[in-house]
Structure 1
Amino acid sequence: MEFFNEAMMMINANVAMAPFIIFGLLFLAGFNIPVSEDLMLFTAAILAAKNPDYMWPLFFAVFAGAYISDLICYGFIGRYLGPKLFKIKFFASMISPEKLDKINSFFKKYGVWTLIFGRFVPFGFRNGLFLSAGLGKMNAWKFAISDLIACTISCVSFFAIYYNYGETAIEYVKKSNYFFAAMAVAVVAGVLFKKRKQAKAS
């Protein structure tokens, strides 16, 4: 936590180094380190608004960091470590098998749309989604292309909102995140209920 606080102080104090620090923090998020992509997007956009000359470096840093983070979570943790990750206390305490089962049901039902939808839901669901795709051995190219589209939509949308409207946009984004999270829970509950009903009928 101290390292994270120092990094945030450096980002705000030295805009020239900010793109590298933001990218590095998001890279760590791929290993399930609790770094908020939403906070990085907000920080990058606010800095860009105050320092227009750094807009593109800041945007590409947050975009590349978010996308590569997803690939790490999917490929290294999900596909490579696989079920072994639940034996590692660090990962087991963050993502429970039960949560992954729920996300996996959502994934099977809605396919790649889950990636686009899931990027608008906060950290816990988002990383669980990528882990689930890796554990389920989703085709690597399919994941990479689908997530690239999803990442582009979310990063461009949020960066533009924060850049143009600053802190006044935070409450609206929070409300939209709660809305998407509630929808995700409702859909997952519906899928699980339908499966149980079918199992009882058979």
Structure 2
Amino acid sequence: MHVEEWLQTIPALWVYVLVGAVVGLESLGIPLPGEIVLVSSALLSAKGVVSPLIVGVCASTGAIVGDSIGYLIGRKGGRPLFDRLGRRFPKHFGPHHIARAERLFQRWGVWAVFFGRFVALLRILAGPLAGALHMSYWRFLVANVSGGIVWAGGTTAAVYYLGMVAERWLKGFSWVGLVIAVLFGVGGTIWLKRRAAKAFAEEETPETVSAR
């Protein structure tokens, strides 16, 4: 069952709770599909099932609180915490992932927290890693709050309005045009993923590659 279809089977109140909880736990450092749940909930808001405002507020709150808790955990646990997580969850917290995230933090500083909200890897690691690297809490808090609101609120608003427009547009749309649109969307997604993978690989340093 698709996430959106599953969310439609539960009361609106629990959709809000689920959005905040999943986004918060992901921000805390637990690998969960926070963005998928957020987008699916925003699509439901376009259909009038839930309120887009409450979805955005719950997601923003979850993101900010989760990242803050992750920061405190990272501050207390330090690098040994990532070593333990790397042994248990090598797919998400392996040495290669941590090293790459650290390079981004060293290069961009507090902006890595803000923009990290939009990148799957950093969305999980930003809070704990900022704490482990002893980033100033107040600088982290500003980037965390602003990034959480822009990401969660912006995603909810964009998906909501696109869903509203798409629903009206598709009412008079032919099946041929719909198929073309779907193929175009899939092709565009594949192209973007390949571009992201290329940029991801270019970010690696020769030292990291040779250390594998």
Category of TM-score, reference length = shorter chain: 0.7 to 0.9
Within 2, Cα distance between the matches of 1:33 and 1:74? 13
| CA deviation vs aligned residue, 1:150-171 (integer Å, no higher than 9, x gap) | 2222223221221122388985
Query: 1:170-189 residue pairs with structure 2 within 5 A?
Result: 179=195, 182-183=198-199, 185-186=201-202, 188-189=203-204
Paired residue secondary structure (2:13): coil
Is the CA contact 1:121–1:177 (under 8 Å) kept in the aligned structure 2?
no
- Normalised to the residue count of structure 1, the TM-score between the two structures is 0.73
Work out which of the residue numbers 26, 31, 36 in structure 2 matches 1:34. 31
| CA deviation vs aligned residue, 1:47-79 (integer Å, no higher than 9, x gap) | 211227622222211111122222222221x11
Instruction: Say what the alpha-carbon RMSD is for the aligned residues.
Output: 3.4
Quick check: which has more Rg, 1 or 2?
Answer: 2
Work out which of the residue numbers 90, 97, 100 in structure 2 matches 1:99. 97
**CA pair 90-28 structure 1, distance change in 2 beyond 3 A:** farther
Aligned to 1:48: 45
Work out which of the residue numbers 7, 14, 22 in structure 2 matches 1:11. 7
* Matched length: 186
Within 2, Cα distance between the matches of 1:131 and 1:180? 24
Shift of 1:140: 0.9
Shift of 1:25: 2.1
Provide structure 2 residue ranges, at least 5 long, that are not aligned to the other structure. Answer: 167-180
Aligned to 2:150: 153
Paired residue secondary structure (2:12): coil
Work out which of the residue numbers 9, 21, 34 in structure 2 matches 1:24. 21
Within 2, Cα distance between the matches of 1:91 and 1:144? 27
Shift of 1:178: 6.1
Work out which of the residue numbers 113, 128, 131 in structure 2 matches 1:131. 128
| CA deviation vs aligned residue, 1:7-64 (integer Å, no higher than 9, x gap) | 9776322223210122122233244332122112202211211227622222211111
**CA pair 33-106 structure 1, distance change in 2 beyond 3 A:** closer
- Matched residue type, 1:142: R
Aligned to 1:200: none
Percent of pairs identical after alignment? 21
| CA deviation vs aligned residue, 1:113-146 (integer Å, no higher than 9, x gap) | 2223322222x33223333212111111111111
Shift of 1:90: 3.3
Paired residue secondary structure (2:125): helix
Is the CA contact 1:44–1:62 (under 8 Å) kept in the aligned structure 2?
no
Within 2, Cα distance between the matches of 1:111 and 1:159? 27
Within 1, Cα distance between the matches of 2:62 and 2:194? 24
Aligned to 2:75: 79
Is the CA contact 2:60–2:149 (under 8 Å) kept in the aligned structure 1?
yes
Within 2, Cα distance between the matches of 1:26 and 1:12? 18
